Structure 1
Amino acid sequence: MALTPDDVVTKQFQHVRFKEGFDPDEVDDFLDEIVVEWRKTIEENDQLKAKLAEYEAGGAPAAASTEAPAAEVVEEVPAAEAAPEPAVEAAAPASGGAAASAGIIELAQRLHDEHVAEGVAQRDQLISDAQAQANQIVSEAEARGRDEMAKLERERTALEGRITELRNFERDYRAQLRSYMEGKLRDLETTATSSGSTPVSAIGL
C-alpha cells in the first residue's frame, strides 16, 4: 500500500508498558517505510523532470521549422499554445511529491523532537529522584545522629545520677559507721567505769 502524507500525519503508535514513549521497533519499521516511499518519490520526481526536459527540448525545434504560409501558421498557433498543458499536468505530480517529502520531513523532525524532549524529561527526572534520595539519606543520617546523641546524653545523665547516689551512700555509710563505732566505745567506757576497770580510752585505743 502506497504511503501518503495523511498516513504519515495520522499514524498512531502503540504505547509500551512500564515506561513512557513509543515502541522503538514499531517506530523504526514505520521510518523504514517512510524512507522507501521517500526514495520512490524522489525517483518519480527525477523521472518527471527528465520527461519535462525532453518535452521542452523536443518542442523548440518544432517552433523553428521552415517557413509556412500565413494561414497554416495561424492554424498551428493554437496547437503550440496548447502544448504546455502536459507540462502543467506533469508539474502537478511533482508538487504532490514535494508535499509528501515535506510531510515526511515534518514527521521525522517531530519524532526527533519528541525523542529529544523525552530524553531531557527522563534526565531531569533521574536527577530529581537522585537529589531527593540523597536529601532523604542525609536527613535520615542526621536524625539517627541526633537520636544517638540524645541517647548518650540520657545515659551520661543516668550515670552521673548513679555516681551521685553512690557518693551519698558512701558518705552516709561512713557517718553511720563512725557513729556506731563511737557508740560502742562509749558503751565500753561506761561498762569499764561501772566495774572499776581501766577505761578503754586510758588504754590508748
Structure 2
Amino acid sequence: AAPALTGPQDAESATSMLALAQRVHDEYVRDGEEQSAKIIAEANAERESIIADAQKQKDSLLNQLEQERELLENKINGLRTFESEYRSNLRSHLESLLNEVGNGEN
C-alpha cells in the first residue's frame, strides 16, 4: 500500500499533482474543442460546396428542359398548322369533287 500523505510537503505534492492533472485536462478539452471546430468548419464548407454544385446542376437541367419544352411547343404548333392546312386542302379537294359530280349529273 502507498504511504499515507502526512506532512506539508505531501500536501504540496498533492496540490501540484492536482494542478498538473487540471492543466492536462484543460489541454485535452481545448484540443478537443479546436478539433471539433475544425471538423465543423470543414463539414460546413463541404456542405456549401455540395449545395452550390446541386444548384448549378439544377439550373443547368432546368435550362435544358426549358429548351426542350420550347422545341416541343414549336413542333406541336407546326403539326397544328400542318393539320389545319391539310384539312383545308382536303375540304377544298372534296368540294371540288362534289362539284364535278354535281355538274356531271346536270
* TM-score exceeds 0.5: yes
**One-letter amino acid of the structure 2 residue matched with residue 158 of structure 1:** L
Q: Could you tell me how far 1:175 is from its partner in structure 2? A: 0.4
Gaps of 5+ in 2: 101-106
CA RMSD of aligned residues (A): 2.6
Match of 2:50 in 1: 147
**% of aligned pairs identical?**
9
Q: Could you tell me how far 1:191 is from its partner in structure 2? A: 2.6
Q: Could you tell me how far 1:168 is from its partner in structure 2? A: 1.0
**One-letter amino acid of the structure 1 residue matched with residue 7 of structure 2:** I
**One-letter amino acid of the structure 2 residue matched with residue 117 of structure 1:** L
**One-letter amino acid of the structure 2 residue matched with residue 34 of structure 1:** G
Taking the aligned partners of 1:132 and 1:34, their CA distance within structure 2 comes to 42
Query: How many residues of Structure 1 are paired with residues of Structure 2 in the alignment?
Result: 100
Q: Could you tell me how far 1:121 is from its partner in structure 2? A: 1.6
RCO (CA 8 Å, sep 6+): is it higher in 1 or 2? 1
User: How do residues 7-156 of structure 1 correspond to structure 2 at under 5 angstroms?
Assistant: 12=2, 30-31=4-5, 33-34=6-7, 105=9, 107-156=10-59
Taking the aligned partners of 1:115 and 1:181, their CA distance within structure 2 comes to 96
- Taking structure 2 as the reference length, the TM-score comes to 0.71
Taking the aligned partners of 1:177 and 1:109, their CA distance within structure 2 comes to 100
Match of 1:173 in 2: 76
Gaps of 5+ in 1: 1-10, 14-29, 36-104, 198-205
Which has the larger Rg?
1
Higher helix proportion (structure 1 or 2): 2
Taking the aligned partners of 1:187 and 1:153, their CA distance within structure 2 comes to 50
